[in-house]
Amino acid sequence: MGNLTATRPPQPWTAPTASDPVAATLRLPGSKSMTARALVLSALAAGPSTLAGPLRARDTELMAAGLRAMGAHMSISDDERWLVRPHPLVGPAHVDVGLAGTVMRFVPPVAGLADGRITFDGDPHARTRPLGPLIGALRSLGVRIDVTGTGSLPLTVLGAGRITGGEVVIDASASSQLVSGLLLAAPRFDRGVVVRHVGPPVPSAPHLRMTVQMLRAAGAAVDDTTPDVWTVEPGPLTGRGWEIEPDLSGAVPFFAAALVTGGEVTLQGWPRSSAQPVEQLRSLLHRMGGEVTLSTTGLTVRGSGVVHGLTADLSDVSELTPALTALAMLADSPSFFTGIGHIRGHETDRLTALAREFAALGADITETPDGLEIRPRPLRGGVFHTYHDHRMAHAAAVAGLAVPGIEVDDVGCTSKTMPEFPALWSAMVTGKS
């Protein structure tokens, strides 16, 4: 279970309540997932790369800082366009992972390619996040790693400047990032890699598809035709221009606002073909009472003002769970979410945290081993603890649209992926930009 020690800073943020249907057109920051992958691939490429529309937030700045510490040149002063120039990777260096799963799982394989000692640590709760399968996989591929705990942070990678690679078996049922981390660095391994997953299903399959798509876009040869097996051939990665899509996970609370208030929210700059799970989101929001359309203006969600309950396996889109849980609280029928036991190992134990905080507001919510059961009834205001988890703050904001007096103890935690969130949210609800 994650760290569920609740603390209340002296200045909580009161989630604004909507008096009218929201009507907003937003341009949100870039995808965290795409930005993180583009930074890693660019640092390992044979030539320079640019990232257009990247996400500037704590997680991505930590990723850039970690790669820079090992020698990659990162020019990220321009919010709209980042430049990455690869250089030989060397130690000694220290990588602060913060609370970012992408940093703690994508950068250690890169560190194995560095020549020197690379240490990793992060926020206190980062030491509880699943990392053991990646450590074991890297060791089997020839990487020397010193771990002081039981298969978690802090750790030290004793880079030899190269990784032999080859075939590796891993249980990635705790996080798809365990596979993505191996695949992203694999073109630089002497023999590439064959990753075989053995265990319960890998969650968040769309994120793995994004990894494969972006590897191919950088020139890597990847075979993912066999279920639970990924083969990456050794070879150079090409520096290129990356166009970073708006962050779909970050947009979900805003889309949820359209359903709650019977309004309309448009996310500008949405591509015709996306690496993110937009079809899954479209289906879920439609079943909950929303209408989702894609036009030249962007991705638009319209609500009727009535939210329907939902029975769904969210294993592929688990990042949406907190916002969908808040929607389910305001629905006209019960909801049952399954396939999300792995989010107990996210920034906090999200299942326990959601159940605890909504119950404190009067909700009838039951935690199951791999999901949540929600039976809507009227909620009351009160303090909603985030446990330093940005998605918990998003859930509180969605519920606050219909429930006056919800106070978020630490809205600043949204800086992990969207520092602008409180201002954007308040502007949307009040109609004042």
Asked whether the beta carbons of 117 and 104 are under 8 A apart, the reply is no
Question: What is the C-alpha separation between 289 and 195, in angstroms, rounded?
Answer: 40
* pLDDT per position as a tens digit, 101-159: 999 999 999 999 999 999 999 998 888 887 999 999 999 999 999 998 778 899 999 99
66 marked as binding residue? no
pLDDT of residue 61: 96
Rounded Cα distance between 280 and 251, Å, is 14
Which pLDDT belongs to residue 366?
97
Give kind and range of the element (H or E) at residue 242.
strand 241-243
Residue 416 among known ligand-binding residues: yes
Q: How far is CA 22 from the centre of its chain?
A: 26
Per-residue pLDDT tens over the stretch 218-265: 999 999 999 999 999 999 999 999 999 998 889 999 999 999 999 999
From its phi and psi, is residue 59 left (phi > 0), alpha (psi between -120 and 50) or beta?
alpha
- Residue 59: which of 3, 151, 126, 109 has the closest Cα? 126
pLDDT over threshold 60, residue 191: yes
The reply, when asked if residue 432 is annotated as ligand binding, is no
Strands (E) located in 88-136: 93-96, 115-121
Q: Is 415 annotated as a binding residue?
A: no
Q: Comparing C-alpha atoms, which of 270, 151, 277 is closest to residue 203?
A: 277
CA 142 to chain centre: 29
| Separation of alpha carbons 276 and 366, rounded Å | 30
| CA neighbor of 16 nearest in space, from 422, 325, 379 | 422
> What tokens appear for 116 in the block?
């020197």
The CATH code for residues 32-223 is 3.65.10.10
Percent of the chain with pLDDT over 70: 97
Active-site residue (options: 319, 347, 357, 407): 319
Residue 15 burial class via C-beta count within 10 angstroms: exposed 0-12, middle 13-18, buried 19 and up: buried
Domain ranges within the chain, ordered by starting residue: 13-29+246-430, 32-223
Between 365 and 206, residue with greater pLDDT: 365
Q: What is the mean pLDDT of the chain?
A: 93
Terminal-to-terminal C-alpha distance of the chain: 40
Would you say the CATH fold of 32-223 matches that of 13-29+246-430?
A: yes
Q: How many helices (H) and strands (E) does the chain have?
A: 12, 23
Q: Give the whole-angstrom CA distance, residue 227 versus residue 41.
A: 24
77 has binding-site annotation = no
∠ Cα 349 244 58 (to 5°): 45
- CA dist 318 and 208 (Å) reads 13
Question: Rounded CA gap, 42 and 72, in Å?
Answer: 9
Q: For residue 177, say whether it is annotated as part of any ligand binding site.
A: yes
Q: Tell me if 318 is assigned to a ligand binding site.
A: no
Q: How far apart are CA 290 and CA 242, in angstroms?
A: 32
- Is position 32 annotated in a ligand binding site? yes
Question: What local confidence, expressed as pLDDT, does residue 50 receive?
Answer: 98
pLDDT of residue 33: 94
Output the pLDDT for position 433: 53
Cβ atoms < 10 Å from Cβ of 27 = 12
Is the separation of the CB atoms in 393 and 386 below 8 Å? yes
Q: Annotation-wise, does 175 bind a ligand? A: yes
- What percent of the chain clears pLDDT 90, i.e. is strictly above it? 82
Per the CATH hierarchy, to which homologous superfamily does domain 13-29+246-430 belong?
Enolpyruvate transferase domain (3.65.10.10)
pLDDT at position 125: 85
Evaluate whether 398 touches 261 at the Cβ level (below 8 Å). Answer: no
d(CA 381, CA 405) in angstroms, rounded, equals 4
Q: Residue 1's pLDDT is what?
A: 44
Residue 210: pLDDT band with limits 50, 70, 90: very high
Structure tokens at 377: 């009834």
Sheet strand arrangement including 311-313: 311-313, 335-338, 371-375, 364-368
Find tokens 């907190």 and name the residue. Answer: 322
Convert the pLDDT of each residue in 25-42 to its tens digit: 998 889 999 999 999 999
Q: Residue 210: in which H helix or E strand, if any?
A: helix 205-217
For residues 381-397, average pLDDT? 95
**Tokens matching residue 67:** 């790669």
Q: What's the CA gap between 401 and 16, in Å, rounded? A: 6
Paired strand residues for 371:
368
pLDDT for residue 2 is more than 60: no
| Confidence tier at 49 by pLDDT (50, 70, 90) | very high
Q: Tell whether 33 is in a known binding site.
A: yes
- For residue range 335-347, list pLDDT tens digits in order: 999 999 888 877 7
Tell me what pLDDT residue 7 has: 47
Q: Is 176 assigned to a binding site?
A: yes
Residue 365 has pLDDT above 90, yes or no: yes
* C-alpha–C-alpha distance, residues 426 and 15, integer Å: 8
Q: Where are the beta strands (DSSP E) in 88-228?
A: 93-96, 115-121, 144-147, 155-160, 166-170, 193-197, 222-223
pLDDT of residue 8: 47
Q: DSSP label at 50? A: E
Q: Note if 319 is an active site residue.
A: yes
